[in-house]
Amino acid sequence: SEMCIRDRNEEGQVACVACELGSYCAEGAAAALPCNEGSYSSSTSLTSAAECTRTDQGHYASTGSTQQTPCAAGTAQASSGMGSCSKCAAGTFQDEEGKLTCKPCTAGSYCAEGAAAALPCPGGTHKDASLAVMTSVSQCVDCGPGTSCSVGSAAATPCAPGTITAITGQSECFPCNGGEYVATSGATACAECSAGSYCEAGSPSERQCPAGTASGTPGLGDATRPAQRER
């Protein structure tokens, strides 16, 4: 379709030009009218707003658009014919474009409003079990003594036998020194190996001195020599 405008180069002369992209022009129009938000057009032959194309789900178009645009990461749109996309709600995220809905935040991570990714709790911390969703790193909880938390932990993990953590906020547990052991999980301290036994580093139990040998000294690190303690 064409719209009519006055050609200023020839007084009194009326000329018609093609309708603009992203617009429609009724018969005899004096100006192109833009497609409404939520619709678009890449044609110059539209005569009414109804001929503009509605956006698909997962897309949007502002007023006068010549094409639809996929929703950006961190947003989504479940309806067609929309002029904008909605930010992902706190506790959800969307790491892809053109999506209809947002994803639940993964366990051990936090998601602020409009998040394009689930961000993991740092090492030494874990998800706060009292919260349905987490929206900030400040809500991640320190691991307690006797436990460790790798990056993105949903819960603290008790130290395995032979290892300990004595303080909070540790990303890994540490093996007992030679001459010490711990038999339980979730321990905060190692015990000295008793006389007549030896304990290699990281031992979960005492080992008796080999047959034909004996020791009246506690804290042996192996069967042949006293433990070498860290200073």
Instruction: Report DSSP letters for 139-174, one per residue.
Output: G-EEPPTTEE--TTBSS-EEPPTTEE--SSS-SS-E
112, two tokens: 């602020």
Q: What's phi and psi for 134, nearest 5 deg?
A: -120, 140
pLDDT for res 30: 85
d(CA 43, CA 48): 12
pLDDT for res 217: 65
Classify residue 46 by burial, with Cβ atoms within 10 Å: 0-12, 13-18, 19+: buried
d(CA 77, CA 64): 19
What are the respective helix, strand and coil percentages of the chain, to the nearest 5? 5, 25, 70
118, two tokens: 């689930």
**Would you mind telling me the total number of residues written for the chain in this entry?**
231
Are 21 and 66 in contact by the 8 Å Cβ rule? The answer is: yes
Flag residues of the chain having pLDDT under 70: 1-14, 211-231
pLDDT for res 28: 80
d(CA 226, CA 231): 15
Are 122 and 137 in contact by the 8 Å Cβ rule? The answer is: yes
d(CA 181, CA 159): 13
d(CA 216, CA 113): 65
Q: Which DSSP state fits 164?
A: E
pLDDT for res 201: 92
Side chain identity at 82, as an amino acid letter? M
d(CA 98, CA 84): 12
Q: Give the contacts of 177 (CB within 8 A, at least 6 positions apart).
A: 190, 201, 221, 227, 229, 230
Q: Is the model's pTM score more than 0.95?
A: no
